[in-house]
Every structure is written in C-alpha cells, then in structure tokens.
Structure 1
Amino acid sequence: MKHHTLSVLAAGLALALFGSVQAHAESANLDCKLKFSLTGWSLIYKHAEGHGTVSCENGESMNVKISAKGGGLTVGKSHIDNGTGRFTDVHNINDVLGTYAQGDASAGAVKSGTAQLLTKGTVSLALAGSGEGVELGVSVGGFTIEQTGKIRK
C-alpha cells in the first residue's frame, strides 16, 4: 500500500512539474509591441530620449520613457517619430523593462531610417523607425525602457 501511495504521489508531482514547465514555456510567447518617438544628439557621447507605449496581446499596456546612451565615434542630431518595436521571449509585460545592449553604425542626412536588434538577457527587441536628421558614426551603449504609469488592462 505504501509503495502504491508513493507511486501515485510521484506521478502527481511529475504531472504538476511538467504542467508548470509547459505553462512557463507557453507564456514566454506573449506578443508585445512598442510604439515610440525619440530625439537625440551625439558628439563622441551619444544621448537620446523619448517616450512610447508598450502593448501586449493579452490587453495590457503601459506608457514608457526611453533613453539611449553610449559612446563611440559619432556626430549628429536626429529624431524618430512613429518608431516601432517588437519584443520576443516575453513572459509578462514587465519583462520588457530594463536596459538592452545596443550597437549602432549609422550614416544619414535629412531623411534617415534605422533598424536594430537589441538584447537584454533572453528578451530581444527589434526596432524600426524613420525620421530626420544628420548622423555619422559608430557607437555602443544601452537602450533603456522605464515604466512611467500604471499597467492598463
């Protein structure tokens, strides 16, 4: 009888663990997007600030502040309006917050565009946008997303 009880208990624990792992893996596929505007300048040191909104397929959204800082051989001034981003490997909306590693090589005058892939641990962010400005150079740094308001459902 004890052996049967232990077998049932072990099977129950295995099923619970498998269900938990499976639920965790499935929840990592939460589709979240970023819409943003960004204005920046660079003269060796690169600095840009902006704002945006993160929205996820589960109906949650939040306003965010964006900043990009770094250094390298750069010079210029630019702004991006109506930029977009798409996150991967997100479990919940808070996973998008933090600083992403950023590398950049750019050259543009008057009308310019950007496409970048940034990473923060297992979460990645693909950015795309167009705007105006003049920029030339290579830089590395961080792209930070901070929450500025409550999460809305």
Structure 2
Amino acid sequence: MAVFPLSTRAEEGGVLECWLEYRLEGWSLFYKTAEGQGTVRCNDGSRLKVAIVSRGGGITFGKSRIHEGRGEFYGIYRIRDVLGRYAAAEVHAGAVRSARAQVVTKGTISLALTGRGTGWDLGVSIGSFVLQER
C-alpha cells in the first residue's frame, strides 16, 4: 500500500507573503482592455517580472494609466503560483486622477489590487486578469 503525504514540498515551507508593484494602461467603452507590467516580490527574497493583460466588460467608460499600482497576494506557497488567469471584478472612478480597487481570484489564490494614476474613468466591470512571466 502506497502512502502519500498530505502536503506538497512547497506547502511544507509555509505560506509566503508576496506583493505586486505594477503599471497598467487601458481604455474602456463597455469593453475594457488594459496591459502593463510589474514585479512580484516575496518575503523569501524571490522576485518575478510579469506581464499583465486585463480584459472584460460591463458598464464602464474611460481611459486611464495606473502609475503606482500595488497588490497583495494571499495563498501563495511559491512565487510561480502567482502566474495564470484570475477572475476579476472591478470598480473604478476618476477624473484627472484615476483610482482603482479590484480583487481577483484564481482557485485558492487571491490578489487585492489598488492603484493611482491619471486619466478619466467610471464604471463597474467583470472579466479576467492574467499574469504571465516576462
């Protein structure tokens, strides 16, 4: 009879504290699209550069550029866990100064995003938020 451990080697090391610093630029007119890049850092010293692609739709209008984006990951055991497609729900509003608040999820992993920048935008949207290694 084979015995399998209840946790993987990655989980044995414990949950990592990881965060994302990013820049994102996009537009929306019912359909929403944005692209950018960032860097994920974790408390174990690991670092990963990422490309960001966000697509969705809803009642949303505008054009914005987020310069000072920050996100916090929850449920990460190794840095590469951050990569992939997240389900996204977003509320955004601003004129001249743009602000963003969004929570995205992928299975048991969550990413809470905030950001400040320039542009004008208003709306609510749902869609996807994808992190790929660059």
With normalisation by structure 2, the TM-score equals 0.89
Structure 1, unpaired ranges of 5+: 1-12, 149-153
Quote the residue 1:132 is aligned against.
118
Is residue 19–residue 42 contact of structure 2 (8 Å, CA) maintained in 1? Answer: yes
SS of the residue corresponding to residue 94 of structure 1 reads helix
SS of the residue corresponding to residue 16 of structure 2 reads coil
1:58 to 34, 38, 44: 44
Q: For the pair shown, which has the larger CA radius of gyration, 1 or 2? A: 1
SS of the residue corresponding to residue 58 of structure 1 reads coil
Shift of 1:112: 2.1
Please identify runs of 4+ aligned residues in structure 1 that moved more than 6 A.
none
Quote the residue 1:38 is aligned against.
24
1:48 to 11, 31, 34: 34
Quote the residue 2:133 is aligned against.
147
Is residue 34–residue 52 contact of structure 1 (8 Å, CA) maintained in 2? Answer: yes
Which residue identity is paired with 1:69?
R
What is the RMSD of the two structures over their aligned residues, measured on CA atoms?
1.9
Q: Deviations over 1:25-60 (max 9, x none)?
A: 553511111100000101111000000001111111
Give matches, 1:72-111, under 5 Å: 72-111=58-97
Is residue 27–residue 90 contact of structure 1 (8 Å, CA) maintained in 2? Answer: no
Is residue 90–residue 103 contact of structure 2 (8 Å, CA) maintained in 1? Answer: no
CA distance in 2, matches of 1:82, 1:49: 14
Quote the residue 1:121 is aligned against.
107
SS of the residue corresponding to residue 95 of structure 1 reads helix
Shift of 1:106: 2.4
